[in-house]
Chain A
Amino acid sequence: MTSVIARHQELDDNPSMARMSMLIDLTRCIGCDACTVACKQENGTPFDVFFARVLNVEAGDYPDVMRLYIPVLCNHCEDPPCLKACPNKAIVKRQDGIVLIDQDRCRGTGACVSACPYGNIILQKSEAWYLNPDEPYERDFVKPRLASGVARKCTYCAHRVDEGLDPACVVACPTTARIFGDLDDSESRISRYIVEEGKTGRVPFKLLPEAGTQPSGMYLGPMSEQDVATLGQAAEPPVAEEVTL
C-alpha cells in the first residue's frame, strides 16, 4: 500500500492548502446510526470498533427531559495531540488536513489513544468478528481492509476523498446532516453551508475547544428545541390495587 505516504508526499510537493472538514447539523440529525454502520460497511471494522459513533444523550428529569444526538468521529485536529504523542512517528497530517495512522509504522503503543481527548482512537489487543470465519465476504473482503494490533481511527475516508468522493458516512446520511468539504474553498458545499446558515444566526461550534487541539470537525445547533406540556402525573391503572401474582 503506502499510498498514504505517496499521497502525503504528493501533497507536500504540491501544497494545495486544502482544509478538509466535516460539519454536522445537529438539528437535522435523527440519531439513526446510518453513519455508524456506513463507516463499518466501508472500513470493515471488527466487533466493538466504531470509527463513527452517535452519542445518545438524555438530559433532564421526567417530564423536563430531552433526547440529544451527537455524532462523533476523529476531529482531524489542526494540532493533533495523537501525532505528537506517537513515539514511532506513525501519525501524519496530510496537507489537506486529514490525519492518518500509518498502519505499517504503528507499533501499537497506545500513546495516541491516551493523547486523544475525544476517545476517537481505538487499539484492540485482540479482535472479534461477526461472521463464520470461512465466509468469503468477511474473510476475503472485510478483514483485509485493516491491520490488526495497531491503532485505528476514522480517516475521513481518505481513499474516497482522493477519488473526489465524500466519506461513506456523509453519502449514507439520510437526513444530509453531514456536510463535508474544503474550508479553504469558498465554493465548497461546507463553506457555502456555513455562510448560508450564518445568515440565520447559526454559528458552528467545536467539541472541547479548551483541549486546544483545534478540531476540523464542527457542529451546528440547536440540538433540540423541544418543550413539554403535561400535568406530570403517573399513568395510573384503571383500578389501582396492590397486586401479587
Chain B
Amino acid sequence: MIAVIVPAAVGDDNAGMATRFSVPGRRGSQAAPGEARVVRTTDSPNCTGACGWLATVVDDVIVDLKPAADYPCEEYNPRGCLRGMSMTHMIYGPDRVKKPLIRVGERGEGKWKEATWDEALDYIASKMIHIRDTFGPESMLLFNQVVGTGYVQKGAQVRMAALLGMSFATAYDFNGDISMGFTHTMGIDCVECETKSWGHAKTAILWSSNVFQTRIPDAQFLTRVAKQRNNCKIIVIDPRCSQTAKGADLWVPIHPGTDGLLALSMCYVVLENGWVDWEFLRTFTDLTTLVREDNGQRLRASDVGQGTDMEFMVWDESSDQLVKLPTETLLQPKEWRPAFRGARTVIIDGESVKVRPVFEIIEDHVMRDIYKPEHVASQTDVPAATIREIAQDYALSRPSSIIIGMGVNHRLHGDLTIRSILLLSALVGAHGKPGESISIYSGQHHFRLDVSSWWFPNGKRPNGVPMHYFVLGQPTATINPKIKFPKNGFKALFVSHGNPLVTEFSGPLKEAIDQLELFVTIDFSMSPTCEYSDVVLPAPTFWEKQELVGTSCHPYLQIQQAVVSPQYDSRTELWMVQELMRRVAPELFPQVDFTEEEIIDLLLANGGKETDGITFDQLVEGPVRLKVHDPEVGCDEQFLEHKPFPPRAYPFPEGAQREFLKTGRMEFYKEEPIFREIGEAIPIYKPAFEHLPPEDQRLPLSIVTPHSKWRVHSTHSNNRVLLNLNRKPVVEINPIDAMKRGIRDGDAVEIFNHNGSYKLWALLTETIKPGVLCVDHGWWDRYLGGGKYHSVHTHQKVKPTHENYYLPAVYAPGQHWKDTRVEIRKA
C-alpha cells in the first residue's frame, strides 16, 4: 500500500505540480505531467542514515526527491545526503539488472541468457533439491547484506534458510564491523547512543571516525549543536586530516595502528592524576572482582561455599570479608567498600589461594613506563603534552564522548584497542548521560526490535556459519564447536545485496566459489559479484518495495514504501522466497505465504518492549519513536536502571550472551584460558604489524581504506552523477612519499605487496601523514587502471580469542584489513 500524503494539484500551467516543472530561468515543462503524487518513505542502504524522503511520482517514475524533514524531534530535520538524492540514477541507471540472467559461458565470462522468472527459479530449485538430497541442506549458504536494513525482505530469506535447514552467514562479522572489543567488555558487539546525544558533549573525541563523510545526516549534532551551541571541544585522532578534522578544534595525526597505546597512555594520565570515578567502577565494572593466583580464574561464590559458579566475590573493606556481588542488579549495599587494591588469601578446598582485585592487576600493568606519555609520544607521534591534554579534557571537561571508527576496529588487535578505550571511559565513568558514551556506528546491523517471530519459524534458526570459514574452505583448528561446518562442504551460495567480490578477500573468495555447484546473486545492480554468478535475480531497489526500517543512529521506526512498482522485471525478495519454497519444499509454502503488511504487523506485535503499542497505521503517518529513553545514551538499561550487562542482542533470547560476560559487569579481565595464553587477559598494547610475515613488515607504507561520502560500501560505485563529481579512484599520498618515488599528482600508479596489486591514480595531498596511503573503500574493479581492488589486503585469518564462543554477529570473528603494508610505484 502507498500513503499519498501530499496531494499535488494538476492542471493549468501555473498551478501545483505544473508550476514546479515550468521554471523561470529554464524551459517550461514539455512533457505534460500526468497525475503527480508525493509519497513519504525512507531509504535503507546500510549507511545507518535511514533518512525520510518525500518522493514525487508521475506515471510510476520518481521525478523528485526531497528530505521529508518530518521527524517529531525537530533536531533530526532534515536528514538526507548526496547518495540518497541521486538514487534516481541508480534506480534508472544503465547497470540495473532488468531480467533474470542465467550464465551460459564460464563463470565471469559475461555470457548470459535472459530468462523468464519461471526458467530461472526452476533452474535454481532443481539444483537446490539435488544439493539438499545429495549433500544435505546445510551445504547451501545464504549471505545477505545487511540484514538490519530489511527486517521483512531480507528476513524472508533468513526464514527460508531456517525452514530448509540451510547455512546462514551473517554479514556483520565478515564485514569486519563486529567490534569484539565491545563484546569482550560489554557482552554486545557494539554500543551506540542516538546521535542527538552527541549535541550535549563538551568534549568529543572522534577516534578514526569520519562522521562528516560517513554520518552526513547526523554530523550537524557535532557542528551545529555541540560546537556552536555548546562550545564543545572536538578532537580528531586520525593519520589523515580527515574531512571531519575540518570541524575539529584539534587534529592528532597518530601513527597508524598505535591507537591502543595512546588509549592506555591516557589511562596512565587518568590514574596518575586520580581522576577516577570509583563509584562507577564498583557499580558497573568487574574491577573489584578477585582473580585467583593459582589458576587465573575469577573467584566464584562456589569456590568459597557461598553460592554458584555464576556468582562472584569481592572483598568488602568495611566488614573485612568476602561478599557476593548481586546478580539481579548492579547496585550494591551502600555500606560496602569493595577493595580495588590489595592481595588477600582465601581458603579454597582447604588450600590457601592468593586473590587480587582486577583493578590492581590492571593498574600494575598500566602504571609502567611503557605507557608514560613521554615514552609513548615517539611511538604514536603524539606529543606527551597532548596526551595529557586530551586525557584531561576527556576526564574533566564533561560530558565527554568518544566515537570510534573502523580504522581502529579493522585490525587484528583492534579488540585490544577498543578494550583499552573502554577502560579509559570506565575509569572516568563517562557513560550513561546525554553526551557521554563510547559509540561505534558500524553499520545498520543493529536490530531495534526482536525479529524472531518472522525470521525464525517456531524458533527454528538456520545453521550459523561465519563467512570466514567459507573463504578458508575449511574450519580452523580452533573453531568453536557450536559452529557446524557442513560435513560435505559448501555446494551452493546465495548472495543477496552483497558484493563480496570487491571486498578484501575477493581472490580467496573466488577460489571458494569455484568449488560450488550453484552461485546465485540477488541485486538491483550488475555488480562484479553478479558478473561471476551462475544466476542473477533482479531485485527492486528500496524505493520499490515495502519494508520496516530501524537504525542505530536515531530511534525512529519507519515504513519504507513501494514508491513505484518493482521496476523492469524485478521482484521483491519475499516473492522470490515464496516462489522458491513452492518449488523446493511445497509443504512449507504456507510458512512464507504472508504479505508485507502482515509481516510488519507480526514484527510490531512481537518486537519486544521497544515496539509496544506501535502500529502499522501510525507508521504510515510518519516516523514513530521506539519506546526507548530520550535521548538514548547507550546501554540505557544498565547505566540508568542498573540491570546487569549485557544488553540483549536481538534477535537472540535473553541470556544468550551470558556465557561470555559471566559477571554481568563490564569485564576488563577475561579469564578464558586462550586470553591468558596469548597475553590478552587484560587490555594491553600489541604492535599492529608484528603478526605479519617479516617480508610484509619490511614494506614501507601503511594503507588506510576509509569509507567516503561517494558510496555506501560499494553501492553507488556506478552512480553516474556521483562519478561526475568523483571521477576515478585515487590514492592519497603525501608529496614527500611521492617525490621519493618520482610520482606526480595525477600519475597512474600501482599499489603492490606480496598479496597482490592494483593500479589507480595518485592524488598528492598535504592532508595525509607521510608513510601512509589512503584509498577509498568500495571501488568496483572496472574503474581501476588494472588489477584487483584490495587484493593487497591481508589474507583471511581468525583470532582465536574470537572463537571462544559463538553467537552470530555478536561473538564471532572480526577482520584485520588495515594491518596491511604496501609499496607504491609509477605504473
User: Residues of A with Cβ closer than 8 Å to B?
Assistant: 1-4, 7, 27-34, 36-38, 40-43, 47-48, 58, 60-63, 65-69, 100-103, 130-132, 135-138, 140-141, 144-147, 152-153, 155, 158-160, 162-163, 168, 171-176, 223-241, 243, 245
Contact = CB atoms under 8 A, between A and B. Distances in A.
Interface in B211-251: 212-213, 216-217, 219-220, 223-224, 227-228, 236, 239, 241, 243-251
A69 B246 contact: yes
Most B CB contacts (10 A, CB to CB) among A41, A174, A225, A232 go to A174
Contacts of B31: 140-141, 144
Interface string B97-128: 00000000000000000000000000000000
Most B CB contacts (10 A, CB to CB) among A4, A37, A146, A175 go to A37
Nearest to B252: A229
B383 A144 contact: no
A168 B23 CA distance: 13
Nearest to A244: B823
B24 A100 contact: yes
Given A3-B22, A41-B85, A140-B31, A30 B770 contact: no
B595 interface: no
A231 B228 CA distance: 30
Given A32-B219, A144-B31, A175-B219, A38 B92 contact: no
Interface string B587-622: 000000000000000000000000000000000000
Contacts of A241: 698
A65 B769 CA distance: 11
Contact of B724 (A28, A47, A61): A47
A239 B23 contact: no
A62 to B, nearest CB: 4
14 contacts: A31-B212, A37-B82, A37-B725, A38-B82, A43-B23, A63-B253, A131-B94, A140-B31, A144-B30, A174-B79, A174-B81, A176-B78, A227-B249, A237-B821
A41 B25 contact: no
B136 to A, nearest CB: 44
A38 B66 CA distance: 8
Q: What's the interface size class on B, roughly? A: 35 or more
Contacts of B236: 226
Contacts of A103: 25-27
Contacts of A67: 241, 243, 245-246, 767
Q: Provide the main secondary structure of the chain A interface.
A: loop
Given A66-B241, A152-B26, 9 more contacts: A1-B24, A3-B24, A4-B24, A32-B216, A68-B246, A137-B61, A141-B58, A155-B24, A230-B253
Given A144-B31, A159-B23, A235-B769, A27 B227 contact: yes
A230 to B, nearest CB: 5
Contacts of B67: 171-172, 174
B256 A235 contact: yes
B106 to A, nearest CB: 28
B88 A239 contact: no
A29 to B, nearest CB: 8
B753 interface: yes
A243 B766 contact: no
Given A130-B721, A239-B698, A58 B247 contact: no
B24 A40 contact: no
Nearest to A131: B92
Name the 6 nearest CB pairs between A and B, nearest first.
A1-B28, A235-B771, A4-B24, A155-B25, A234-B770, A229-B386
A162 B78 CA distance: 22
A219 to B, nearest CB: 15
B697 A237 contact: yes
A104 B88 CA distance: 29
Interface of B: 13-14, 19-31, 58-59, 61-67, 69, 78-82, 85-86, 88-89, 91-94, 212-213, 216-217, 219-220, 223-224, 227-228, 236, 239, 241, 243-253, 255-256, 377-378, 381-383, 385-386, 389, 687, 689-690, 694, 697-702, 709, 720-722, 724-725, 734, 736-737, 752-754, 765-772, 821, 823
Contact of A136 (B27, B59, B81): B59
A140 B92 CA distance: 13
A33 B725 contact: yes
B256 A137 contact: no
A229 B216 contact: no
B28 to A, nearest CB: 3
A224 B823 CA distance: 33
Most A CB contacts (10 A, CB to CB) among B219, B227, B722 go to B219
Contact of A230 (B228, B249, B383): B383
Given A63-B253, A67-B246, A239 B26 contact: no
A145 B754 contact: no
Most A CB contacts (10 A, CB to CB) among B24, B64, B79, B689 go to B24
B255 A235 contact: yes
B80 A172 contact: yes
A30 B228 CA distance: 14
A160 B19 CA distance: 9
A230 B382 contact: yes
Most B CB contacts (10 A, CB to CB) among A7, A155, A230 go to A230
Contact of B383 (A137, A175, A227, A231): A231
Nearest to A156: B25
A69 B247 CA distance: 10
Contact of B81 (A32, A47, A225, A226): A32
A140 B26 contact: no
Nearest to A57: B246
Given A58-B767, A61-B766, A225-B249, A237 B700 contact: yes
Contacts of A66: 241, 245-246
Contact of B720 (A41, A130, A231, A239): A130
A243 B360 CA distance: 45
Nearest to A63: B253
Contacts of A173: 78
B771 A48 contact: no
Nearest to A29: B223
B19 A162 contact: yes
A145 B64 CA distance: 12
A99 to B, nearest CB: 9
Contact of B248 (A31, A36, A226): A226
A58 B81 contact: no
A146 B220 contact: no
Contacts of B736: 62, 234
Contacts of A240: 698, 700
B697 A239 contact: yes
A60 B699 contact: no
Contact of B770 (A62, A131, A146, A147): A62
A175 B223 contact: yes
Nearest to A129: B720
Contacts of A230: 252-253, 381-383
A30 to B, nearest CB: 4
Nearest to B251: A228
Contact of A234 (B86, B722, B766, B771): B771
Contacts of A58: 241, 765-767
A226 B250 contact: yes
